[in-house]
Amino acid sequence: MQNIISNFDAISEEIMSQYAGEWIAVVDNKVIAHSKSFKEVYNLAKENYPHKKPLMGKLPENFPTVLSVY
Amino acid sequence: MTFSFKYKPVKLKTGETLYRPLIPITLEGEEKIDVLAMLDSGSDITIIPEELAEVLGVEYKKDNIIYGISREPVDAKEGKIYVKFGKGNEFYSFEIPILVPTGKLDLPIIIGRAGFFNQFKIIFIESERRIEFKRLEPFQIKYN
């Protein structure tokens, strides 16, 4: 389970800012794919790193947001 | 035992830096997928995008409606999913209810209160830009 933590720790301010609003896949602490589509990024990660478990993230936008839902 | 995650910084278009409470969590369905999610104490329930729910093979129990801050209703389907969450030597698995918006609602994964916040004592330490979690004892967990 440490893989998920190290991939999470690798998501820096630079990554959060560069890919704001996009899905990213992080494998071995590096962003290996990004797109507006979850499936596109997930499938790329599975194809190119079949034995690795990517951390998938839809990064929040780079402007203030209110997300609460009820 | 407690564990914590630091807020994630993002540089805004204005040049300012904003720090957000994001956590790593594993969603377990037909596939087990590690995801980055926003921890949102203001959301009643967890929200998962439809594309992700499809890959996880979520089984839906009923239809529902999501209301956001704008009060515009969005159609959604309601289901449940297992999650695994923790850090270090502490990982916990449990089931949470989810809503999957079927309309066009472009949101990150939001971990809301139902089924998650009752599992831990959660402290948002804004001054240190981190979230601290302490797992509750089974007798302390309330399910309603």
Please report residues of A whose CB lies closer than 8 A to that of B66. Answer: 69
CA A48 to chain B, closest CA, distance in angstroms equals: 16
ipTM: 0.92
Structure tokens that stand for B46 in this block: 């967890």
| A66 belongs to a structural domain | no
Report pLDDT for B66. 74
- Tell me the backbone φ, ψ of residue B142, rounded to 5 degrees: -105, 135
Q: Cβ distance B43 to B101 under 8 Å?
A: no
Q: Residue A39's domain spans which residues?
A: 2-58
Among residues 20-39 of chain A, which lie with CB inside 8 Å of chain B? 20, 37-39
Q: What is the pLDDT of residues B64-122, one digit of tens each?
A: 877 766 667 778 899 999 999 999 999 999 999 999 998 766 788 999 999 999 999 99
- Is B67 within 8 Å of chain A by CB? yes
Chain pair A-B, CB pairs under 8 angstroms: 108
| A63 belongs to a structural domain | no
| A41 belongs to a structural domain | yes
How many domains does chain A contain in total? 1
Q: What is the pLDDT of residues B42-78, one digit of tens each?
A: 899 999 999 999 999 999 888 887 776 666 777 889 9
Nearest CA in chain B to A60: B108
How many residues would you count in chain B? 144
Q: Cβ distance B27 to B81 under 8 Å?
A: yes
Please report residues of B whose CB lies closer than 8 A to that of A59. Answer: 10, 36, 108
Quote the CA–CA distance of A16 and A69 in Å, as a whole number.
Answer: 23
| A68 belongs to a structural domain | no
pTM score, whole prediction: 0.91
| A69 belongs to a structural domain | no
Report pLDDT for B107. 80
Please report residues of A whose CB lies closer than 8 A to that of B93. Answer: none
Q: Which of B26, B40, B52 sits opposite A4 (nearest CB)?
A: B26
Element (H, E) at B56: helix B50-56
Please report residues of B whose CB lies closer than 8 A to that of A58. Answer: 36, 49, 107-109
Closest residue by Cα to residue B13 from A15, A13, A66, A61: A61
CA A26 to chain B, closest CA, distance in angstroms equals: 10
Nearest CA in chain A to B9: A13
E-strand ranges in chain B read 2-6, 8-11, 17-20, 22-28, 32-39, 46-47, 60-67, 73-87, 90-101, 110-111, 120-125, 130-135
| A64 belongs to a structural domain | no
| A67 belongs to a structural domain | no
| A7 belongs to a structural domain | yes
Mean of pLDDT over chain A: 90
Structure tokens that stand for B27 in this block: 């969603």
Quote the CA–CA distance of B92 and B112 in Å, as a whole number.
Answer: 17
- More confidently predicted of A67 and B24: B24
Element (H, E) at B144: none
List all residues 6 or more positions away from B139 whose beta carbon is below 8 Å from its beta carbon. none
